[in-house]
Amino acid sequence: MTTARRRSYGVKGAPYAFLLPATLLFALFFALPIGYAVWLSFRKVRVSGLGLGSGARKEVWAGLGNYTDAFTDSELLDGALRVLGYGCIVVPVMLGLALLFALMLDSDKVRLAPFTRLAIFLPYAIPGVVAALLWGFLYLPDVSPFYFVLERLGMPQPDLLDGGPLYLALSNIAVWGGTGFNMIVIYTSLQAIPAEVYEAAKLDGATPTQIALRIKIPMVAPSLVLTFFFSIIATLQVFNEPTTLKPLTNSVSTTWSPLMKVYRDAFGTGDIYQAAAEAVIIAFATLVLSFGFLRAANRRNKQDASHEGAR
């Protein structure tokens, strides 16, 4: 009885014991900071008198003041629009290339596949800051091979780090860094498709292109959804690459992306309350987009399942 009871208790308590480290770390480094950020976003400092002496600077309730300031801030809005433009380039190009390369790797009789797969995956191992540094120099007129070629051809030389080209320059860094990882995710799913599916299609006279478009792509749709989802999150959170390019060009301001503005407000301006409100808004927007996307993807999965079930 005692032994049985002790064993039963041991099993019941075990999951909580195993999950204690993660729970504690989550509470300290995720839940507490988020709660603190929300708290700060409703506070502000009131300065009384001449700001001298103790009690002159007092933290007080600010209501929604920080939020209204954020929503009416043209710098934050401009940053959001820039990231939207940047994302519209990065996500389709990166995933398009990843899918293309994955399909090529999955082709019959492709040569040098191990080498090319590894080479395309390699950028994943290089830090975003180093990647931006490398490409940043390649964009400079005196270093860039692109300028060298254009000059030899007598063609005009655009400033790759200004105006429209800046978006392409920044997007290229993200595409270069992320295509390989997404390629592997999609390729892994392709490898998991049973070979009988292809054999049946070939017997029916389908060409490799038709097999790719009608069989392979639909069957890896779940992986595409996953990669699309993570790509959007990464795009919303862009910070490293524009920050790294800033020393090389005057066209990247300290508030180029929303996250750069949050950083600037918190540590440049010293207004942690405004920064907290902006951070909360960005986090909330990310969560809404993510759950909306997951719900839409899930709904489509259910429709496909019921349709297949009916047939």
Partner 1 sequence: MSSLAVQKASPATGTTGAARSRPPLRGRIALVPTITLLLGALYCLLPVAWVVIASTKSGSELFSTFTFLPGSGFTDNVHDLNAYRDGIYWQWMANSALYAVLGALLSTAVSAFSGYALAIYRFRGRETLFNVLLAGVLMPPIILAIPQYLLMAKADLTDSYWSVLLPQILSPYGVYLARIYAAAAVPSDVVEAGRMDGASEWRIFTRVALPMMVPGMVTVFLFQFVAIWNNFLLPYIMLSDDEKFPITLGLFTLLEQGANTPALYTLVITGAFLAVIPLVALFLVIQRFWSLDLLSGAVKS
Query: For residues 40-69, which are near partner 1 according to CB under 8 A?
Result: 40
Stretch that binds partner 1, among 53-61, 71-79, 137-145, 153-161 (CB under 8 A): 137-145
Whole-number Å distance between alpha carbons of 23 and 16: 9
User: Residue 34 interacts with partner 1 (CB under 8 A)?
Assistant: yes
**What are the two backbone dihedrals, phi and then psi, of residue 43, each rounded to the nearest 5 degrees?**
-120, 165
User: Residue 201 interacts with partner 1 (CB under 8 A)?
Assistant: no
User: Residue 255 interacts with partner 1 (CB under 8 A)?
Assistant: no
User: Residue 262 interacts with partner 1 (CB under 8 A)?
Assistant: yes
Task: Decide if 193 contacts 214 (C-beta within 8 A).
Answer: no
User: Residue 81 interacts with partner 1 (CB under 8 A)?
Assistant: no
Stretch that binds partner 1, among 73-81, 85-93, 116-124, 156-164 (CB under 8 A): 116-124
Comparing CB distances to partner 1, the nearer of 32 and 296 is 32
**Which of 176, 216, 235, 273 touches partner 1 (CB under 8 A)?**
176
Q: How far is CA 37 from CA 66, 101, 169, in A?
A: 12, 42, 33
Stretch that binds partner 1, among 33-41, 56-64, 72-80, 303-311 (CB under 8 A): 33-41
Stretch that binds partner 1, among 58-66, 72-80, 85-93, 242-250 (CB under 8 A): 242-250
The sign of the CA dihedral 73, 79, 83, 84 is: positive
Comparing CB distances to partner 1, the nearer of 166 and 241 is 241
For tokens 């508030």, the residue is 255
Cβ at position 89, least distance to partner 1 in Å = 16
User: Residue 119 interacts with partner 1 (CB under 8 A)?
Assistant: yes
Q: How far is CA 153 from CA 56, 150, 158, 159, 277, in A?
A: 67, 5, 14, 17, 51
Chain centroid offset of residue 150 CA:
33
DSSP 16: H
